[in-house]
Amino acid sequence: MSATIAVAPGLAAAGLSKSVPSLSQELVGEVLRGLTRRGQKTLPASWLYDAIGSALFEVITLLPEYGLTRADAGLLERKADEIVAAGSPGAIVELGSGSGTKTRFLLEAAVRQQSPTSLGYFPIDISSAALESCAKVLAAIEDVAIQPIEASYLEGIRAAVSRRRGRERLMLLFLGSTIGNLSPAEAAGFLRAIRRLLQPGDTMLIGADLVKPEARLLRAYDDPTGVTAAFNLNLLGRINRELGGDFCLARFRHEASWNPKRSRVEMHLRSLEAQRVRIAAFDLEIAFRAEETIWTESSYKFEAGEIPALAARAGWHTVSQWIDYDWGFAETLLAVPRIAKHG
Ligand code: AVI
């Protein structure tokens, strides 16, 4: 998967050289700003998903300690017919192209319930490789017209909307609790922006991981096999590979902690000693104190009722919710109401 999260603009002020043309300049700017800020150092979570990071994330989804993806897929498999009946989509638009496994249940249910016309499926991703592999996995489903869109989420939704056939309804999929990697303010802004691009009756299915005991969460984000640690440390490896950094990965440790006040798991990389790291692309040396951390990701966990409340603040109406109580995961189907109360 590749998470596309809005990044802060403007590189000129940061004085970045043009030596990294293949990378998103906005993202590179975020790396620079995050590592040079005065207080808590940060790296953008979207930087986790290069080819190596995406492959490590696929392995995370197989770990016995990380039940999130299995709970999401299991719920979709069991409830696909109900979900599709509640949204009656003529086309399905997926934010992130995923591995295809989860989407298959919904596409097959939609085809079963569909009139003779074929079902449109628009996976949206910034990675062409991810789109290609998703199209390959799902190609065998009959009566589905797969139309990949290589774009950011909002741009991609605009493109899918422009290809709407007549008055057909769109169903957007935002699965895997990717919403949990946004802050509450970002999530509300994102849901509002999406709602404004759609028509009354269009729907959106959101998968969200629920709050669970701390020990269970920490095992999921700091697994004994060390896959999540490798996923997190790969951020530094990526800076070395793509920006000419000289991070020594053994001098940093992966950490996951639960912040109960904010209801989020935080991933950090802790510097094990005082050290200086050079990044050639920025022509810069960055100093780390012993024990200082780089905050790399937040993964918010929700109470089931929080998703409808968040959606209502963004002008959506909740149609229905399905919950897996074993792991703690919710699928919530939202719809664009006839008259939105919130701009
Ligand atoms: C993609 N996202 C929902 C994952 C999560 O659980 O927040 C990313 C992840 N980070 C560590 N493990 C998995």
| Predicted local distance difference test score (pLDDT) of residue 258 | 98
Q: Give the distance (Å) from ligand 1 centre to CA of residue 299.
A: 7
Q: Is residue 48 a contact partner of residue 74, using CB atoms and an 8 Å limit? A: no
Q: Is residue 54 a contact partner of residue 130, using CB atoms and an 8 Å limit? A: yes
**Which of 65, 298, 299 to mutate for ligand 1's pocket (most ligand atoms within 8 Å of CB)?**
299
Domains of the chain, by residue range, sit at: 16-48+216-300, 68-211+306-335
| Predicted local distance difference test score (pLDDT) of residue 340 | 61
Return all residues near 241 (Cβ < 8 A) that are at least 6 apart: none
Return the residue whose CA atom lies nearest to atom 6 of ligand 1.
299
Rounded to whole angstroms, the maximal C-alpha distance in the chain is 66
| Predicted local distance difference test score (pLDDT) of residue 343 | 66
* Element spanning 267, H or E: strand 264-271
Q: Give the distance (Å) from ligand 1 centre to CA of residue 219.
A: 13
- Rounded CA-CA distance 133/4 in Å is 18
Q: Is residue 209 a contact partner of residue 68, using CB atoms and an 8 Å limit? A: yes
- Looking at CATH, the fold of the domain delimited by 68-211+306-335 is given as Rossmann fold (3.40.50)
Q: Give the distance (Å) from ligand 1 centre to CA of residue 22.
A: 26
What are residue 167's phi and psi, to 5 degrees? -105, 20
By CB atoms closer than 10 A (0-12, 13-18, 19+), residue 94 is buried
Q: Other CB atoms closer than 10 Å to residue 6's CB: what's the count?
A: 15
Q: Give the distance (Å) from ligand 1 centre to CA of residue 215.
A: 17
- Rounded CA-CA distance 321/305 in Å is 9
Distances 231 to 77, 185, 242, 248 between C-alpha atoms, Å: 28, 26, 16, 15
Helix (H, G, I), strand (E, B) or coil at 78: helix
Enter the pTM of the model: 0.91
| Predicted local distance difference test score (pLDDT) of residue 342 | 58
| Predicted local distance difference test score (pLDDT) of residue 224 | 98
DSSP string, 208-221: EEBP--HHHHHHHH
| Predicted local distance difference test score (pLDDT) of residue 185 | 95
Per-residue pLDDT of the chain (343 residues; tens, 9 = 90+): 333 332 222 222 223 333 444 567 877 899 999 999 999 999 999 999 999 999 999 999 999 999 999 999 999 999 999 999 999 999 999 999 876 789 999 999 999 997 667 899 999 998 888 899 888 889 889 899 999 999 999 999 999 999 999 999 999 999 999 999 999 999 999 999 999 999 999 999 999 999 999 999 999 999 999 999 999 999 999 999 999 999 999 999 999 999 999 999 999 999 999 999 999 999 999 999 999 999 999 999 999 999 999 999 999 999 999 999 999 999 999 999 987 665 6
Does the CA dihedral 279-285-289-294 come out positive or negative?
negative
| Predicted local distance difference test score (pLDDT) of residue 8 | 25
| Predicted local distance difference test score (pLDDT) of residue 304 | 98
